[in-house]
Amino acid sequence: MFQKVLIANRGEIALRVIRACREMGIATVAVHSDVDDDALHVRFADEAVCIGPAEAARSYLNVPAIIAAAEISGADALHPGYGFLSENADFAEICARCGLTFIGPRPEDMRQWGDKVQARALAKRLGLPLSEGSAVLADVDDAVRQAERIGFPLMLKASGGGGGRGMHVIRDAERLRVVFPQAQAEAQAGFKNGDLYLERFVEEPRHIEFQILADGRGGVRVLGERECSVQRRHQKVLEEAPSCGLDPELRADMTSTLMRAMADTGYVSAGTVEFLMDESGGLSFMEMNTRIQVEHPVTEMVMGLDLVAEQIRIAAGEEITFPEGPVTPRGHAIECRINAEDPDTFAPWPGPILEYHPPGGAGIRVDSGVYGGFRVPAAYDSLLAKVIAHGRNRDEAIARMRRALDETIFTGIRTNVPLHRRILDNAEFRSGRYSTRLLERMAAEASSSGG
């Protein structure tokens, strides 16, 4: 097992990794920018190294500085968390060349799943359900020809994109001709890859993702699914597990399919395979994320395991610690992402937190990297905390989350807690029959009623 792990991240995920390491008897090293001098992950790690100024490119994305911090501190492994360098295959290779174990998938896994066109081809070869789409588009004329073959409406996507970025809904050829050069320029600027492709567009999709663990020693586990359909502009806001959209037969079928697929590719570490569910209940592969997800706690709560600890053990060459066979979820879990933002306009709201009181009580977990007196920097993502509620069933999880949100206190900044209250009170959400257009409809209803 590792002696010392450096966490190349910040905020709640850095603290989450520190907690797992501490329980395993592993020393930790935090890296931080100068505006994060007083961050909780810096306080709670055994050691801390400042790696640059606030700008992420000069600190949390500064590979030489991070590697130097690992060498200075004597770390023998590195956990990248999510975001930043977590899916950077070149960074993983640099870690290996420097004698540092990267706690995550192999570089070849990141590359083959990171390019969306290659990932679609791989998914097809592995027998995953796939919607109709195109290969990389040569030019706008090729795009129009492919679009007419597949049929409108379509989604124009960036091959190197992810997290909902670089996506455009196309409903006719004229719109495609207008958007194509713009999307190509956006993709090149955002991902250093201007390749685009087309995929069938689903009007009322559900976003369903499956949690994978594989140890590279023949052990593969599929740990159920998460429902991530509460989204704004393709960015997740609330997640739950299990999904109300899957019946036991479909869940069992996807579990066996994904186990075979991951075994065939030799995948190692944690990963998430994401699908869209259409109005008929059919699934189609969307992408695979080769890292721990923001929403991993809902899986941990219903499965009774520690995914980060399993990641660390796998990276150290150990087998998955729980036995093969179906892993049955225990009850239901919901996660609300609490952001420093206006709950109506979604404008970021950095600044000092004058008071913070996290919720507690039965079935409540809070993953947070802030405290009263902490100044939320403008340089990074606005996530303050993840509140997770677990209950014996979905109704109890919703009731506990509603109570937890009422107990959550932030003063000095604005947060999206009021939005989460509205979601939990929404009849469509409470029915369990909702799509990724839920927030869009809620906003339209509020506007029409003058709310």
Amino acid at 347: A
Catalytic residue among 16, 120, 226, 291: 291
CA 239 vs CA 183, 208, 247, 271, 386: distances in Å: 29, 10, 18, 17, 10
Q: Are 375 and 352 in contact (CB under 8 A)?
A: yes
Instruction: Give dist(CA 352, CA 372) in Å, integer.
Output: 8
- Size of the chain, expressed as the number of residues it contains: 451
Distance CA 379, CA 92 (A): 25
What is the spatial distance between Cα 239 and Cα 155, in angstroms, rounded to a whole number? Answer: 23
Look up tokens 């606030």; give the residue. 54
Instruction: List, in order, residues 6 or more apart from 210 with CB less than 8 Å away.
Output: 222, 223, 224, 225, 226, 254, 255, 258, 272, 273, 275
Helical segments of 45-88, H only: 63-73
Is cis: bond before 153, omega within 30 of 0?
yes
Q: Is 403 a catalytic residue?
A: no
Widest Cα–Cα separation across the chain: 61
Instruction: Name the residue among 30, 197, 188, 72 with its Cα closest to residue 130.
Output: 197
Interstrand relation of 77-79 and 4-7 (parallel, antiparallel or unpaired) = parallel
Q: Going by C-beta distance under 8 Å and a sequence separation of 6 or more, which residues neighbour residue 154?
A: 147, 169, 170, 171, 176, 198, 199, 200, 201
Query: Are 364 and 210 in contact, with CB atoms under 8 Å apart?
Result: no
Residue whose tokens read 């890859």: 193
Written as six digits, the tokens of 86 are: 């977590």
List, by residue number, the catalytic residues. Answer: 291
